A and B are shown apart, each in its own frame.
Chain A
Amino acid sequence: MMDFITVRGAHREYQTASALRGVDLEIAGGVWCSIVGPSGSGKSTLLNLLGGLDSPTKGQVFIDGVDLRTLSENEMARFRREKIGFIFQQSYLIPYLSSLDNVMLSQYFHSMTDSSEAEEALKRVGLGHRLHHRPSELSGGEQQRVTVARALINSPKILLADEPTGNLDRENTKLIMELLKRLHEEERFTIVLVTHDPFVSKWAERIVTMEDGRIIKDEPLY
């Protein structure tokens, strides 16, 4: 049986440099996997391939049995909103919408809005008192928690996180990681988390280390 995520011989070349030079990776469903490595090692590029934000110049990416190359742009968008949740390094919220509206925007693109469900999701990440605040009125940690709520609102099968705690202090980082752990245990979605922070990477069940566009180490923690 094919694993939930399968990457086969993925290359990604840019005009001046190549970011990925033949990556093979399999991740089983429900697993929390960290990808670590120095900057420029190609870990973010790999994550973008998994999220369909970028496509490999060579090789294939399968997610849940679907070859991402076969999807048109609109099918890809649909795939993203139904299967994938994103958390980025910067919170990337729409600045003029309240936290509730930001979560509901994701619902809107997915199917239709449901404010009580969105409120519930924000309460789960501990922001029940911040529903109608704009991103600029929230702290960095709170913003990132809104992002978590938004990423998980459509019950995705994979959560892709790119340096989710890159801009946070240790205390907030810990808060976010505990939150992710709790939600992961409740819903058992697959997590692929890119980081260079060993404190963050060790929350995972498996750590993949990259360097120079290749995987150099792949170790399970449990």
Chain B
Amino acid sequence: MLLSLLKHSFLRQKKAMAMMVVSVSMGTAIAASLIALSMDIKGKVSKELRSFGANITVTPKIEGIAGIAGQRRYLREEDIIRIKTIFWRHNIVGIAPALEENAELSYGDKRRKITAVGTWFKKELPLPGETAKFEAGVTTVSPWWAIEGSPPEAGGVVLGSSLSRELGVREGDEVLLDERPFKVTGIVETGGIEDGRAFLDLWDMQQLKGLPGKVSTISVSALTTPMDEFAYKDPSLMSRKEYEKWYCTGYVTSIAKQIEEVVAGGRAKPVWHIAETEGIVLGRMSMLIYLLSAASLLASALGVSTTMVAGLLRRLDEIGLMKAIGADGIQIIVIFLSEALIIGTAGGIAGYVVSIGVAKVVGLKVFGVALSERALLLPVSVAMALLIAAIGSLLPIRRALKIKPAVILKGAR
């Protein structure tokens, strides 16, 4: 009986029903593609944060009079390989030194004060006491750097993308760095501050600045155990058993501590606060996305509600009659909710299909990557659509329940 009632209800108000399905599917599509976006971005970013990148930086310790006088201190290049001798040597998967100094870059008649960085792009280091070699360099700690051209050899330089655009320099041109000529072997784009810098081989930089054997920072990429509460404990307050476990556990803190021990005058710090700030930004962004989704869902719920109320007004007599022959509130609610269920399911599936397309286009336009479709979003979309339809039918149901059975009778008003 219910099926027959629903069938007739849909057949008689095709337009209104189609309107409601469209309204639900639009709201669902927007919400679903927003959620897909947020899931994807979060996934991509956190994956990158987790799997790549330096997670420990070593900088010179600043202390005593040198700290007050602001005199620069340096690390020694020969200490770099000692990082591969610590207890956790096998977990060190990438090392890149850097010597950062201010320099003047000129090309034709254009001049710029820039930061020049001497580093290794890719360099095989012999391991002490082992036959295997270790590959160090920027590519091991920052694999996302996109270099057009080739890494700088002796006498070569790689310019950041915005710097090269500003100066109009192309690969193969010659630039002057502190009045010394260098050949541009490539352009690097990272999306970070590196885009405004110039990179040359560490040895060249040391010669240029007269700092032989010196580096200013060492970035280390280590495979670590995720931090848990235990990891945040102060090692000096641990019991012997705990300390043993801490020592045997590759937390980023314990690895950093051991690096500090082998790099003279160095201070090794985990760089997790970068990840934390990114996390905050991501959190705010997904908050915004959820708010937007909620707003679009609400809007389409309103659409459903007004259409349904309009349909209801045409069916007042019918509902009055049903009540007169004995339909109670629950039975009336069942009829309306079943309609909402059908509208919601249809709208949810349609919305999901639309959202796949939307997420693809938006992802490509805004983020430059096609977002992967997720099967999980189908049930989520349908659930959201059902929610919209249910919320939208709340008001019509209230109206329907208020109808007195006597409306159809002559003489009573």
Tell me the A residues contacting B by CB distance below 8 Å.
14, 44-45, 48, 51, 53-54, 73-74, 77-78, 80-82, 84, 86, 88-89, 92, 94, 96-97, 101, 104-110, 113, 150, 154, 162
How far, in angstroms, from A48 to B405 measured CA to CA in the complex? 10
A-B contact count (CB 8 A): 81
- Count residues of B near A (Cβ-Cβ below 8 Å): 28
Q: Which residues of A contact B325 (CB under 8 A)?
A: 80-81, 86, 105-106, 109, 150
Choose among B327, B330, B409 the residue that contacts A53 (Cβ–Cβ < 8 A): B409
A-binding residues in B (CB < 8 A): 1-2, 4-5, 8, 12, 317-318, 321-331, 404-406, 408-413
> Which residue on A lies nearest to B318, using beta carbons?
A94
In the complex, what residue of chain B is closest to A163 when comparing beta carbons?
B410
Determine the chain B residues whose CB is within 8 A of the CB of A45 once the complex forms. 411-412
Tell whether, in the assembled complex, residue B409 and residue A78 are in contact, meaning their CB atoms are under 8 Å apart: no
Contact B4–A101 (Cβ < 8 Å): yes
B404 — which chain A residues lie within 8 A by C-beta?
53
Is B326 a contact partner of A92 (Cβ separation < 8 A)?
no
| A65, chain B: closest CB distance, angstroms | 19
Given A53-B412, A80-B326, 17 further pairs, Cβ under 8 A: A48-B412, A53-B405, A74-B328, A77-B328, A78-B326, A80-B324, A81-B325, A81-B326, A94-B318, A94-B321, A97-B5, A101-B4, A106-B326, A108-B1, A109-B325, A109-B326, A154-B326
Q: Which residues of B contact A86 (CB under 8 A)?
A: 324-325
**What are 20 contact pairs spanning A and B, CB under 8 A?**
A45-B411, A48-B412, A53-B406, A54-B412, A73-B329, A74-B330, A77-B323, A77-B326, A77-B329, A80-B326, A80-B405, A84-B326, A88-B408, A92-B317, A92-B324, A94-B318, A101-B1, A108-B1, A109-B326, A150-B325
Nearest CB on B from A130, distance (A): 18
A97 and B5 alpha carbons, distance in the complex (Å): 8
CA distance A118 to B323 in the complex (A): 20
B328 with A44: CB separation less than 8 A: no
Chain A nearest CB from B411 CB (Å) reads 4
